[in-house]
Amino acid sequence: MRKVAIVGTGHTPFTFATEKTSIELFSEAAMDAINEAGLKSKDMQALYLGNCLGDFSEGQAMMQSYAANDIGAFHIPATRFEGACASSSLAVRDAFIWVASGFYDVVLVGGVERAASMGTSLATRTFAMFTDSHYEYPAGLTFPAMFAMLAHLYSHKYGVPLERLKEQMAQVSVQSHAYGMSNPKAQFHKEITKEDVLNGFMVTSPLQLLDCCPFSDGAAALVLVSEEKAKELTDKPVFITGIGQASSGRLSAQKDDLPRLRAREESAKQAYDLAGIKPSDVDLCELHDCFSIASLIAAESLGFFEFGKAGEAWEKGETKIGGKIPINVSGGLKAKGHPIGATGASQVSEIYHQLRGEAGERQVEGAKIGLTDTLGGDGVICTLIMEKGW
């Protein structure tokens, strides 16, 4: 298996509703990635595109074909990946496999979504399609309700009183917004306090409004190449060294494990084993904080903290720059935004720039290894590990 490097990235601002089409958004990110890599569109041998809801948001299916055409990468094989919020992470994983296998040398991969443009009602309804449509959604199990339920289960299982858990979750949101201030691509540039979170609108107990990520529009793209090709293009390659993917099925099938999502633990194990590292080797992490409780659950399952203790870690500053494991210094889904088809590629882009020392005010000094964690629906998990290559 060949080594696979990232040599270019592109990232639009994550925003509220935009007038740009998904094709226009992705083309912007894709051309930035191609240009940063020092390549041309004609050099791309394949396109892997994460997108969930183009048919609902703008009546556009087969988006991958039009995206390839729009950037001038004519006739290349183009494939769309749909894995709910993990869509572009799955696309990156497959792009890695194709390049590692030797079948391709240069692949363009990324994602795009116009979730904010759909409006709250349609976006909420279509997001809920990523739960089980026969049993879960008809019972009212939208994702805010699902993660509220997981918060109650977390409180009960680990003996964290609910009011105490709410305070811990509030710190997750406060930290994400603080880091979002220094990310020019982030949707929110506003610091918040713990009191802002705790006094906010109740969405579904115990989740307040500021415990929840927004609907967002945006795109992100990456250029993946073989190690040999990377040597021609850059003296600062970032290698993908670990990949993992696992699925859990509907929540009822996971009842004995909740609030843990065992698919995450399996996906992370695959990635750690392939990279030959352990959790303590990771210098920073971009994880899936669609709701603040999701951060605690993910950080524990990735091996960074003991189960039931992640909330204390956020309160102590262990997840900040300079702490034990900096988490979501991009602002995360909560402040950076969450255009679901683009989120995974955006997480990888952040790690790429961190490992190259290009993250500005939010730079994690000396970072050599980074990890991304992306959750899709009831439990499609993708874990990616990247390492500094020089």
Which residues are identified as catalytic? 85, 338
CA distance 284 to 372: 9
Radius of gyration of the chain (CA): 19
DSSP per position, 266-288: HHHHHHHHHHT--GGG--EEE--
Would you tell me how many other CB atoms lie within 10 Å of the CB of residue 267?
31
Using the 8-state DSSP alphabet, how is residue 252 labeled? Answer: G
Instruction: Return the exposure string of 311-347: e unless at least 16 CB atoms fall within 10 Å of the residue's CB, then b.
Output: bbbbbeebbbbeeebbbbbbbbbbbbbbbbbbbbbbb
CA 295 to the chain's CA centroid = 12
CA distance 282 to 325: 7
DSSP per position, 135-159: TTGGGT--HHHHHHHHHHHHHHHHT
Q: Which amino acid is at 311?
A: G
Residue 80 φ/ψ, nearest 5 degrees = -95, 135
DSSP reduced 3-state for 11: strand
User: What distances in angstroms separate CA 177 from CA 46, 143, 161, 320, 331, one per listed residue?
Assistant: 36, 21, 25, 12, 6
Burial class (CB in 10 A: 0-12, 13-18, 19+), 361: exposed
Q: How far apart are the first and last CA of the chain?
A: 20
CA distance 245 to 382: 4
**Which tokens belong to 17?**
């509703």
